Amino acid sequence: MVQGTMDQDIVVKTYAPAKSLGQARRRAAKMLVVATLISLVPCALVFVAVLEGDWMTGAFKAVADFMFRQPVWAITAATSPLAGALLVGYGYMQRAIRRRGEERQEATAAALQAGPQA
């Protein structure tokens, strides 16, 4: 009999879930600390850039001049988060309306199949 690669042991790595609620909380706390430390780096960079950012004044002044030359640009920029939220809400509303219509059709079809209940 010829020995091939199929005769080798397979090593399977699996995720080890937390053994207890306390261990899960410790793991979650460690992950929160690591994520917080990672997020502090860009926050500190932004803080220092704004604090020492006299070099950005020209760029910000140019943007402000552009935005307020035509007030419609300033209004658009100010209302764009609201418009985005309304658009997302409208999409969710349409999805809910379709889902309710489908559920109503399914319920009607099921009632018709069941026949009259007297």
pLDDT tens sequence across 19-77:
777 888 898 999 999 999 999 999 999 999 888 888 888 888 888 888 889 888 888 88
Contacts of residue 24, Cβ cutoff 8 Å, sequence gap at least 6: 18
Ramachandran region, residue 95 (left: φ > 0; alpha: ψ -120 to 50; beta: rest) = alpha
Enter the pTM of the model. 0.37
Q: Are 27 and 18 in contact (CB under 8 A)?
A: yes
CA angle 13, 19, 23 (to 5 degrees): 110
| Res 84: pLDDT | 87
Percent of all residues in the chain with a pLDDT value above 70, rounded to a whole number:
90
Is the pLDDT at 15 greater than 90? The verdict is: no
Reported as half-sphere exposure (CB side, CA atoms, 13 A), residue 15 has a value of 2
Distance, in Å, from the CA atom of 101 to the CA atom of 13, rounded to the nearest integer, reads: 46
Element housing 111 (H / E): helix 71-114
Residues written for the chain: 118
Mean pLDDT on 4-33: 79
| Res 59: pLDDT | 86
Residues of 97-111 as b/e, b for ≥16 C-beta within 10 angstroms? eeeeeeeeeeeeeee
Mean pLDDT on 82-110: 92
Task: For residue range 20-34, list pLDDT tens digits in order.
Answer: 778 888 989 999 999
